[in-house]
Amino acid sequence: MPDWIDTHCHLDAHEFDADRAAVVERARAVGVTRLVLPAVEVANFNAVRELAHVHGGAYALGIHPLYVEHAADADLDRLQDALRTHRSDPRLVAVGEIGLDHFVPGLDRARQERFYLAQLALARDAGLPVILHVRRSADALLKGLRRIGVPGGIAHAFNGSEVQAALFVSLGFRLGFGGAMTHERALQIRRLAATLPEQALVLETDAPDIPPHWLYRNAAQRGTEPQARNEPAELPRMAQTLAALRGWTLQHTAELTSANALQALPGLAR
């Protein structure tokens, strides 16, 4: 059975409070042996670190763009302190989840930008890659990366154009694919998954979010049952979509995407 790495999983989310250990067990049972747990705000730094230690995963520390509105300026100092305190923790593999969200209306873009650039500088100074949240914001993110060079990372749940994808790759980034690519109508994402250089692809679930098509409930169905929860055990089935799009075996897909994840987040090899 192939070994898989879920490069983006919010295992600390409240959706997993009732059965977190069972979720990790189910993932292991299908070969998803490593999970990368990104933070979203200072308040969950300890949670992702502890979960990574308890379950043998890895974690990232950062302030997510959708949490910037409620973050204090001093949270950037707290991130800096946390990166220093845990500098020699082998399970700390990146700064993230950071980025820009230009999709959700009404957000303070200037404040997002300030937090993004400040966190890039912290990643650069710590010598860590970054895990990026990209939503209608690829060009602005790229501009920041050209100003403040970081040692690569992952553009997670990538949804930009082919030109933008190539620019991220040229800056040393891998692109994260997961539940979205399993939806047949996601033509652009499937085209990218099918045609990007193979070294650029990593797999992720973004659990509990971005359910694959077999878990997805449309608006009418959600009237009678809640949106289903995504979980890391779904990763190998998502990978079947990538394998089919590329004409690869599942074993090759696992080996390649795991090697790419190790390139993007070298700390995973520790």
Q: Is the peptide bond before 208 cis (omega within 30 degrees of 0)?
A: yes
Closest CB to Zn ion among 75 and 97?
A: 97
Closest CB to Zn ion among 97 and 231?
A: 97
Least distance in Å: CB of 177 to Zn ion? 14
Least distance in Å: CB of 88 to Zn ion? 26
Closest CB to Zn ion among 44 and 241?
A: 44
Least distance in Å: CB of 8 to Zn ion? 6
State the residues that interact with Zn ion by CB under 5 A. 97
Least distance in Å: CB of 160 to Zn ion? 16
Closest CB to Zn ion among 189 and 243?
A: 189
Q: Which residue is nearest to Zn ion, using beta carbons?
A: 97
Name 190's Cβ contacts closer than 8 Å, sequence gap at least 6: 181, 184, 241, 245
Closest CB to Zn ion among 97 and 234?
A: 97
Least distance in Å: CB of 244 to Zn ion? 25
Closest CB to Zn ion among 97 and 113?
A: 97
Least distance in Å: CB of 133 to Zn ion? 6
